[in-house]
Every structure is written in C-alpha cells, then in structure tokens.
A and B are shown apart, each in its own frame.
Chain A
Amino acid sequence: MATGTEEHVVEGAEHAGGLAIHPMDQFIVKPLFGDGPVEWYTVTNVTLWMAISVVVLLGLFVLATSRRGIIPSRLQSVAELFYGFIYNMVEDVTGHEGAKFFPYVMTLFMFIFLANILGLIPMSFTTTSHVAVTAVLALAVFLTVTLVGFYRKGLGFLSMFWVSSAPLILRPVLALIEVISYFVRPLSHSIRLGGNLMAGHAVIKVFAGFAGAMGIASVVPIAAIAAIYGLELLVAAVQAYVFTILTCVYLRDAVGEAHH
C-alpha cells in the first residue's frame, strides 16, 4: 500500500508541473538587505547564519563559563564536554606535540558543528552545505599540514611518501600513490562534508514537496521527514567529528613521529 501511495505521490508532484519541489532553492545565497548583486562584501544569508553561529559560540563558551564554577552549570559543563572531547582527540591522534594545534582544531570543529546543527533549523541556511565553504576549510587544513610539516621536518617531511617498510622495488610506485592521495585529501575532505550536508537537506526538501502535493496521505512523507531529520542530526554531528579527526590525522603527519 505504501509503495502505491508513493508512486501516486511522484506522479502528483510531476503533474503539479515539477514546480512544487525546489530542493536546491534552500542553498541560494541572497543579500539580506536590498536586491542587488552579491559582491564579496555583501551581507547575505551566509553572513547571517555564520554570525548566528558566532553568537551561539559566544553564549556557550564565553557567557556560560563566565562564572568559572568549580561545580559547573549545565551550559558550562556542555562547553567543558566539547573542550575535553576535542582536546583528547587532538592529543590522542596527533600526540603531545600536536596539542598546540588544539585551538585551531577546536575552531574548525565548533564552526562545522554549529553550522551543521543550525542548518537543521527549518528555513535556515546551511553554510557548510556549500563546497565553497568546506573547500576553504579543507584547503586551510591542507596548507597548514604542508607548511607545518616542512617547517618542522624540512625535506624530511617528504619521507612520509617513501614507504621504507615496503620492498625497495615497490617504493616508487607506493610513493606515487602516496603523493596522489596526499593531494586528493583536500578534495575528499571538503566534498565529504559539503556533499553529506547538501544531500540530506535536499532529500528533506524533496519529501516536503511530496507532502505538499499529497493531501491527507502526506502523513507518509512527513513521517519520512521526521526519520530523515533524526538521521541528519546524526550526520551533522558525525560529519563535524569526521572532518575534525581527519584534520588531526593529517596533522600527525606534520608533527608526529614518522609511522610509515
């Protein structure tokens, strides 16, 4: 019965002219004031939602900790939870040397996490669903790792491409693969985050479009939206975590002991 209903829904949506479903409209960048072109300095919905994430960060990490309680308030313990979670991750993955990158990694994690979560508020704009944003984040990590690696190890940083534990004859081949994988990192790093966020939000929007065209049977897509929304909450947290832990793994190449 359910499948029959869904087929009917698809047809119904198409009959409505295909205009009822605009899953990509939610990703449009538009000026907040006026209707002019989007210059680099224009205050847009991107600006608005990034500013909201900054406000939330201020509230959670500055306002909530302002009492400096030995016995924390609820929000303060949330902030402490984030602190401990990321600090342990950085220290476990990159080693003691990497701990000085903790504020950097924390900034990345909190930005992505807050942007992902805030993006799940209905009618909001998800800044991290744009590859332009995630690519900047990933390139920042790539450049940081590369520069820190050469700064700390000099040309010895290149030895991570030369797999000394492999047979000599295989090493040039492996070196080529390692170099390619090194340069693909920022691509996979950014597309993984942006793609996940974009796909989830687009799917929710598509189901919402079905619901609009189905009348009483829209209970089914609404239930699906609720389920996907739960999944998207998970994705929002997990993708922030994945981006951050990969950053730590890449940083380990730059600061840690050679492990190849």
Chain B
Amino acid sequence: MATEPILEEAAGQCVNAHGGAIGMPQLCAEWIPNQVFWLVVTLVVMFLILSRIALPRIGAILAERKGTITNDLAAAEELKHKAVAAEKAFNDALATARTEAGKIVAAAKADIQKDLDAATARADAEIAVKTAESEKRLAEIRAGTMDAVEAVARDTAGALVAALGGSADQAVVDAAVANRLKG
C-alpha cells in the first residue's frame, strides 16, 4: 500500500482510485496553494473583523465598565464620608446638649441652694426668737416657782412654830427662812 502510491504522489497524485490518502496528505504539494490562499483570506478577514470591530468594541466595553465601577466606588466613598460627617454632627449636637443640660442642672442647683440657704437662715432666726422667748418664760416660771416655794416655806415655818407652841414674830420667821433658802 505504501510503495506504489508514493510514485503516484511524485507524479502529482495524492489520492488513490478509491479516494483514500496516499502517504501523508500534509505533504501533498498539489494542495498547498489552495490551503495557503484560503488561509490568507481567512486571516485577513479575521484580522479586519477583530481589529476594526470586535477589539475596539470590547475595549470600549471594558473601559466603560471600569469607569462605571470607579464612579460607583467614588460615589460610595462620598456617601460614606457624608455618613461619617452626619454621625460627627450628631455626636457634636449630643455633646453640646449634654453640656447645656449640665449647665442648666448646675444653675438649678445654685438656685435651690440659695433658696435653701435663705429658708434655713429664716428658720434659724425664728428658732432663735422662739428659744429666747422660751428661756424668758422658763426664767419667769422658775422665778415664780422660787417665790411660791419661799411663800410656802414661810407659811409652813410660821405654822410649825405656832404648832410647837412658840409664838414667833412673822418677820423673824421670814428672815430665818430667807437665810435658810440662800444657804
């Protein structure tokens, strides 16, 4: 099968009578111009399709996508900054409100303290007056009691003297009682 057809191939035949290949079809010089011609046509067409239409289009699509992504990322970054700024503003407002509240509390405390001090002073004064009055009345009561005790003592002493059969001068008895009370 091998030797005879090679002679035919040399004669320009690459296919035997049955339509089978003789040797390697790759080495058949008869077909090479055809293959080269159609290859060149195909490559030129492919090159034109790719370089004129497809590749610029895909490049543009990829660039556009990249741009879109970059823009979206930038927008997201901006929104993030805004959110951070809003949070900061909120925190600042909160801190200011806290400070204000502290001031108000302090002022209220000072007011209350003032009122309290005034009330305390007034109450102290009233208490002092009442104390003085009470002491005065206590002194009066004490003095009254002493007088009553002296009178009772005098009377009792006079009655005792009389009961014991003596008749004492009232003045002497009084003096004696006063003497005793002092002692």
Contacts and interface: CB of A to CB of B under 8 A. Distances in A.
Interface of A: 18, 22, 24-25, 27-30, 37-42, 44, 46-47, 50-51, 53-54, 57-58, 61-62, 65, 68-70, 72, 76, 79-80, 83-84, 102-104, 106-108, 110-111, 127, 129-133, 136-137, 140, 194, 198
A131 B59 CA distance: 34
A42 B34 CA distance: 7
B43 A79 contact: no
Interface of B: 1, 14-15, 19-21, 23-28, 30-43, 45-47, 49-51, 53-55, 57-62, 64-65, 68
A83 B35 contact: no
B49 A58 contact: yes
Nearest to A71: B65
B59 A57 contact: no
A76 B57 CA distance: 11
B61 A70 contact: yes
Nearest to B65: A70
Contact of B43 (A25, A41, A62, A107): A107
Nearest to B14: A28
Given A41-B34, A130-B26, 19 more contacts: A24-B23, A27-B21, A27-B25, A28-B19, A40-B34, A46-B38, A54-B42, A61-B54, A62-B53, A70-B65, A76-B61, A107-B43, A110-B46, A110-B50, A129-B26, A133-B35, A133-B36, A133-B39, A194-B26
Given A24-B24, A46-B34, A80-B62, A62 B54 contact: yes
A65 B33 CA distance: 35
Contact of A25 (B21, B61, B68): B21
A249 B180 CA distance: 145
Contacts of A127: 35, 39
Contacts of B54: 57, 61-62, 65, 79
Contacts of B65: 70
A27 B26 contact: yes
A103 B50 CA distance: 7
6 contacts: A41-B37, A46-B35, A54-B49, A65-B54, A65-B61, A111-B46
Most-contacted residue by chain B among A53, A65, A129, A194 (CB, 10 A): A65
B26 A38 contact: no
A32 B62 CA distance: 41
B68 A65 contact: no
Nearest to A115: B42
B151 to A, nearest CB: 124
Contacts of A137: 39
Contacts of A102: 55
A53 B58 CA distance: 20
Nearest to B57: A65
